[in-house]
Every structure is written in structure tokens, then in C-alpha cells.
Amino acid sequence: MKRVLLVLLVVVMKTSAQESAMSPMVLTQDQAIALALEHHPSLRSAGATLRVSEAQVRQARSAFFPLVSAVGSGSHIEGAFVFNPSFPPRDQMYNSYSVGIQGQLTLYDFGKTGNRVTAGNLGVEASEWDVRAARNQVVMDVQIAYFGYMQARRIDRVNQEAVEQATQHLAQAKAFYSVGRRPQFDVTKAEVDLANANVTLIRGRNQLQLARIQLENAMGVHPQRDLTIEDQFTITPMTVTLDSVKTLALEKRPELLAARARLGANEASVSAAFSQHLPTLSASGNYTWSGFSTPIVLLPPLFGRWTAGISLSLPIFQGFGLDAQVEQARANVDAAQASLDLLTEDVLLDLEQNFYALREARERIAATTRLVEQAEQNLNLAERQYAAGVGTPLDVADAQLTRSNALITHIQAQYDYNIALVRLRRAAGIMLF
């Protein structure tokens, strides 16, 4: 009995696992964004670039610390030695050994290291803003893909309804023809309308599949199960003015902040390059143990000695290489300033385009809402007239097409509004994640 219960339990667990694998994956927009933030490759790339910048800062800071190293050497010497021309050469053989510790510390370099560290810190800041910008881009791409998938699903339902209506109209036309109320033309026209509706449905299903692929690509995740998403466009009002959005973008847009940090880093690099003309004061010292061994004395004693000193080095002529480094750094500053100015213009243009696109989409939503209502009324009227024997199949087909187009136009307006809102937030540096 226990074995039977155990077998039944295993069967139930396998069946549940199979049903779970076959059931659609319910995916909210927040869940899609969370998956993208966890798996998208662009974020890993931005994070790696940030680590590179941090490592460069640590490398620049290393000049503030002393350099300590251990050294050792050994040599074997054998042959004839002449100690005095008055005496004949004498064969000698011995080994020399030396071990020690040496250190060096830069006492003052007139800002060389400090300017490099400053430039590195600003580079890290720029990379941090790049990570934020990449994060915002991923969030925006997921939202756009999510809305695109939602739009494709809604259009698919509209196309499915059009096929169902065309099927019902064909059945009605055949019924009327069978009792002699309608000619054969009505049946043929209804069959053509049904075929066209099926073609539109097939195209819409293909667009739905492409929209899912785009959503998966935006998330960086490719689930094996079907996706079920929130199927409702939320029309969030945007009450800010264009001037306030511009001000916010100039203060918060990560790309602008990164460009400003890079400009500062290049300015610090100019100071670092110019400081190469200045002297460097450093201290050095070492402690060494050395000794000699001969065939007679195999383990000689080691004798220690130490040295210490301070040095001052000043570059006098480097073949104009230092001047070229300064000029290169200044040119990098000019290029960074130009990039910042160009990026500022692009950001402001992006803001204006999306601001007016948002306002236009909001007006289209109101207009298409009324259009859908009129199309519904027109279709109901055409169907009643056809059922009463007054209308024609062309009237019904035109009304059905008008209704489908009105619904799709309304869906497109809702999609455009949400996309413009997402892009406007992205352009202003406002993201929810």
C-alpha cells in the first residue's frame, strides 16, 4: 500500500511539473525590468568599465606610497688575478653573495601625482554616471518593448474579432442565399472578406511573435514558456512644462553628468601634463648584507651596510615631448567640451520632440476614442440594415474594416502616448528604477 501511494505521489509531482512548464509565464512590467537589470549584457559591460576606472585611480594613488623591494645576487669568480706587476699572476676562485632591501619614496612632485589622482577620480565619476545611463537605457528599452508586445496582443485580438465577424457574416450570407433573400454575390463577397481578415490575422500573429522576441532581447532573458503580460495601457498625465523638463534634464541627465566629469578629468590631465616640467624630490635607501666564500671558507659571514639619500630631478630637455603632452591634453579638453555641447543640444532636441509627441498622442487618444464609438455605431447600423434586407454586403464590409482600423488607431495612440512618456522621462533623466 505504501509503495502504491509513493508511486502515485511521484506521478502527481511529475504531472504538476509538466503543467507548470506548459503554463504561460505571467510577466509584469516591473518583473521584466528587474530581469533586464539582472541579466542584460550592457550593464555587465558598463560595470566592468567602472572597475577599470577604479583600478586606474588605485594605480595613480600608488605613487603616494613608498616602493619597497628585496634584491639578491650571487656570482662565481675564477681565474688568474694580477695584484701587482712585480708579482706573477695568481689563480683565485671564490663566490660573492649579496642580499638586501631597498626603498624609494617621492617626497614632493609639484602636483604630478595629485593631478593624476584627480583625473582618475573624475573618470570614476564619469563611469558611474555611464552605469546609470546604461541602466536607464535598459529600463527604457524594456518598457518600449513591453508596450510594443502589449500593442501587438491588442491588435491580434482586433484581428481575431474581425475574423469572427467575417465568419458570422459569411454564415448569414449563406443562410440568406439558401432561402433566396440574397444573391450568390453576397456569399462570394463574404468569403473574400473572410480570406482578407485571415491574411491580416496571420500578419498580426507574425508581428506578435516579433514583438515577443524584441521584449526578450530587451530583457536579456529568453523564457521557454509563453508570456502573459498586463494588458492595459495606463494613461499617466504629464503636467510639467517644457522649460521645467529642460532644467531637470540639464541637472539630472546621466550622460550630461558623465560628459561634465570627463571634461573635468581632461582639465586635470592638462595640469598633470604641465607638471611634468617641474622637479621631483624623492628619498631612497637600502640595507645590504654581503659576503664571500672560498674553497676553504664555505659559509662566510655576511656583513651589513646601509645607504640613504635624497635626490632632486628636473627635466631640462625632453625633445619637446613634454610640450606635446600638454598640447595633447589641451586638445582633449577642447574635444570634451565640444562633445558636452553637442550632447546638450541633442538632449534638448530629444526633450522637445518627445514633449510634443506626448501632447499630440494625448490629443489623438481623445479623438480616436470618439472615432471608435462612431465606428461601433456604424457597424451595428450596417449589420441591422443587412439583416433587414436593406443594406448591402459592401456596407457591412466597409463598416467592419472601419471599426477594425478605428480600434487599431486608438491602440496606436495609446501606445504612442506611453512611448513618448517613457522617452520623455528618459530624456529628462527621470526613471523609476
Closest CA to 153 of 231, 60, 67, 45: 231
Q: Is residue 165 part of a domain?
A: yes
Residue 184: the pLDDT is 87
For the chain, what is the domain count?
1
* Residue 395 maps to a domain: yes
Q: So what's the pLDDT on residue 341?
A: 96
- DSSP letter string over 346-362? HHHHHHHHHHHHHHHHH
Q: Which residues does residue 78 pair with via DSSP β-bridges, in sequence order?
A: 93
Residue 293 belongs to a domain: no
Q: How would residue 12 be classed by pLDDT, with cut points 50, 70 and 90?
A: very low
Nearest CA-CA partner of 234 in 135, 146, 355: 146
Find the CATH number of the domain harbouring 157.
Answer: 1.20.1600.10
Q: Domain limits at 200?
A: 25-65+103-280+320-428
pLDDT of 13 above 70: no
Contacts for 70 with CB less than 8 Å, ≥ 6 apart: 99, 100, 101
Is 307 within a domain?
no
Domain-located, residue 93 = no
The answer to whether residue 47 is domain-embedded is yes
Domain-embedded: residue 256:
yes
Residue 117: pLDDT band (50, 70, 90) is very high
Can you give the pTM of this predicted structure? 0.80
Q: What are the beta bridge partners of residue 290?
A: 98, 303
- Can you read off the three cell numbers belonging to residue 56? 586606474
At 214-271, the pLDDT tens digits run 999 999 888 877 777 777 777 777 777 888 889 999 998 999 999 999 999 999 999 8
pLDDT for 181 equals 80
CB 152 within 8 A of CB 208: yes
pLDDT digit string, tens, across residues 319-353: 788 888 889 999 999 999 999 999 999 999 999 99
